[in-house]
A and B are shown apart, each in its own frame.
Chain A
């Protein structure tokens, strides 16, 4: 049962344009969402996160939008640059009632973004 879904395996955009990467989740207990970027032969690199009390978080060229009712989030990259070409993972976590902290991350399968010069 895939609780975090990234249904599009790849996306190609022109340099300077907007990249929109989508992610859907099924577990209503998820309350913290993150995006990671991964280059080949490297570990995932944290990009941006959002908690369920917000619907938008912005950091430079990266903005994450959360639609709780639709169980959907998206990552917008504006403007896209060739160096953004990588695999992007959406991840989610739920508060552990025992520890009072977020714990394990559940990842989607990733989207390969290609930014054309």
Chain B
């Protein structure tokens, strides 16, 4: 158990809909990262938050957005869903900040299926 929790575990929805994925980082971690794992692409970085502020952005679509709340949990919002958005979405956390090297610890993921 990494200490990172994600809900829900599975999500099935229809095209055009909007969903919210939730992540709680490990106790003491200030950085939260979101990754997408699709069948043909492997793990792709989406976005990072550090202590409530956006820190880095990857290949995140404009239909997707995220935020980190004062209690440090994070939500990833996916809207106008398309079939191609079906994937595993992982959240990871790390200590973050000005510690040069720190490992990221991953949650169990949310499997999103868009029908």
Residues of chain A having any CB pair with chain B under 8 Å: 32, 34, 36, 41-46, 49, 51, 89, 91, 95-96, 99-110
Contact = CB atoms under 8 A, between A and B. Distances in A.
A102 B101 contact: yes
Interface of B: 2, 4, 33, 35, 42-45, 48, 50, 55-56, 58, 90, 92, 96-109
Contacts of A91: 43
B114 to A, nearest CB: 19
Given A99-B98, A104-B56, A46 B103 contact: yes
A43 B103 contact: no
Contacts of A108: 42
A46 B105 contact: yes
A38 to B, nearest CB: 9
Nearest to B45: A104
Given A34-B103, A44-B106, A100 B43 contact: no
10 contacts: A42-B109, A43-B90, A43-B108, A46-B103, A46-B106, A99-B50, A99-B97, A101-B96, A104-B58, A105-B43
Contacts of B4: 43
Contacts of B55: 96, 99, 103
A43 to B, nearest CB: 4
Top 7 nearest A-B pairs by Cβ distance? A43-B106, A107-B43, A104-B45, A109-B42, A103-B56, A44-B106, A46-B103
A100 B100 contact: yes
A117 to B, nearest CB: 27
